[in-house]
Each structure stands twice: as structure tokens, then as C-alpha cells.
Amino acid sequence: MLSYLLHRLWQSLVLLLLVSIIGFAILNLAPGGPLSQYALTPGMTREALDRIAHQMGLDRPIPIQYLDWMWRLLQGDWGKSYRDQRPVLEIISGHLFATLLLMVSSTLISILIGTWIGIKGATKRYSIFDYAATVGAMIALSIPTFWFGLVAIYVFALKLKWLPAGNMYTIGDSSFYDYAIHLIMPSLVLALVNIAVWSRYMRTATLDVINQDFVRTARAKGLKPRRVLMKHVVGNALLPMITLAGLQLPTILGGALVTETVFTWPGMGRLFLDSLGYHDYPVVMGLLMFSAILVLFGSLLADLLVAIVDPRIRLG
């Protein structure tokens, strides 16, 4: 198992390097460039722009800039923001809790509800519930996340006035209840697409296990259907779902970017869009690398869990 994990770790490091190269090249080749925000300053001259570019090292070839940036990154220096000269890691850490709170809550919701729908759909195959779950999953996968968010705000915040329309908390109120009611809509909207994905995969995995010989043997021994389902079917069907949980991280992060924007949630997704608008490239690259590390760590963790519970991988 150690050699398998080392191989996966090596692959993750190579992917991380490729992400950094592609991201750095795209940002520096994009129209405008990091000096565009300074060019809008009243009275800014070409000489002043050249002086700023020299001070920031932007007049050097892009490969040299990348190597310098990567060397500082490996030393723990992620750069400073062009907007307020604050360290990039400090800015990201200030928005990390909000994103993790949203991601964890939406993931738990999608796993719990999606697993239940998938198991129930598999055990009641071709029933009204199964058809309704299939249609609902197709609708959830077809409609954009931002549309669900806007509809939720219109219905539950503007019309019914049950929930707040946005933000993470009410200014002056830091109670658990206030955080919870602000979290309900964005976490449910973010979880909606993942519920559809999880339920479809769980239904397929459950159907595969139900048709296995050991399940038929358990039934032949006279075990109660609920015991067969919970002990023999669900446990084995959840095994491929561990890998799916790791693969869902990019989807959750992408959905969080949209959801945080719709609900003005102060997380990394909203920070990413704001930084792009201000051409704050050090923060954008920092968020890109942090997200890539998070996704690769999730995938590596999922592989580790699968290797622990699956002896075929552990002994391979």
C-alpha cells in the first residue's frame, strides 16, 4: 500500500506543477495584465508604469517571473496583494473558514440525502419514487446553480421572509442560530447538484451489489431484508462512493464560487472573482494553488480510505 500511496503522491505533485505553470501563463498572457489597475490612476504616465513594472519584477521574461514566484512559494512566501499589500496567505485564511463551512455542510447534506435516495431508488426499482428521483436528478443537473440560488432568494427571502437573502451573519449578532439560518439556503443550493450526482451513483452501486451471489446467499439463509440491506448491501455499495467523494471536490469548489457570489457569502469563491476584477494576480494565483492543493488532497485522502477498506488495493 505504501508504494501505491507514494505513486499517487508523485502524480499529485506533477499535476500541481502543471496547474501552476498553466495558471501563471494564462494570467500573464491575458489582456490588460497586472498593471491595468495602475493605468487607471489619474495622472499616471508611461514612465511611472515602467517604474512600477520594474519594482514589481514584471519587466522580466515570464519564465523568469514564474521561477521566482515558485521559489518564493516553496519558501512559504505566496506574495502580496496588489490592492492592499497584505500577504496572500493572510487574505486567503480570512476567507477560508466561510468556504469550508459551506463546503462541509453542503457535502454532508448531499451525502445523507443522496445516499438515501439512491438506496431507496435501487430497492424500489421502477417505482414511482424511482422515476421521480430520476426526473428530479435530471432537472437538478440541467439547471444552472445560480438560477436555483436566485429562485431560493426570491421565494424564501423576499416572498416568505423565512430566511435572510445573503451574507454569512447579521452584523452585531454572532450567535450559532444566526450563522445557521444564513447557512441554510447557500448550503442547500450548493448541495442540490451533488445530491443528484450522488443519488444516481448510489443507485447504480446498490443495484450492482444486490445482484451479487453473497447477497442472494444471505437471503437464502433467512436473514431479514433490512439486515441484508444494511450489513451486506450498503456497506459494499459505499466503497466506490468514497472515491466519488474525492472526485466531487472540484465540482463543490466550482459551485461554491457561483453560490458565494449569489448569496454574497464571504468565501474564497467570491474573493476569486473580486481579485480577477481588480487584476490582483498574486491573490488569484494563491487561490488557484490553494484550491488545487485542496482538490488533490481530497483525492489522495479518498484513495487512502479506499486502500484501507479494500484489501485488493492494500495488498496489490
Q: Check pLDDT > 60 for residue 243.
A: yes
Q: Which residue(s) pair with 216 in the sheet?
A: none
Domain ranges of the chain: 1-75, 88-309
Please classify residue 47 by burial: count the beta carbons closer than 10 Å to its beta carbon, then call 0-12 exposed, 13-18 middle and 19+ buried: exposed
The answer to whether 122 and 210 have CB atoms below 8 angstroms apart is yes
From the CB of residue 121, how many other CB atoms can be counted at a distance below 10 Å? 25
The predicted model gives 99-127 an average pLDDT of 89
Q: Are the C-beta atoms of 198 and 114 separated by less than 8 Å?
A: yes
Q: Read off the amino acid at residue 1.
A: M
Q: Highest-confidence range of 104-108, 220-224, 301-305, by mean pLDDT?
A: 104-108
DSSP-assigned letter for residue 80: B
Q: How far apart are CA 271 and CA 287, in angstroms?
A: 9
For cell 505504501, name the residue: 2
Query: CB-side exposure of 28: number of CA atoms within 13 Å?
Result: 20
**In 207-216, which positions are buried (b, 16+ CB within 10 angstroms) versus exposed (e)?**
bebbeeeebe
Q: Does domain 88-309 have CATH number 1.10.3720.10?
A: yes
**Residue 311: predicted pLDDT:** 58
pLDDT at 312: 57
CB 119 within 8 A of CB 234: yes
Per-residue pLDDT, averaged over 222-247, amounts to 76
88 or 45: which carries more pLDDT confidence?
Answer: 88
Nine-digit cell string for 175: 450567535
What is the greatest pairwise CA distance in the chain? 87
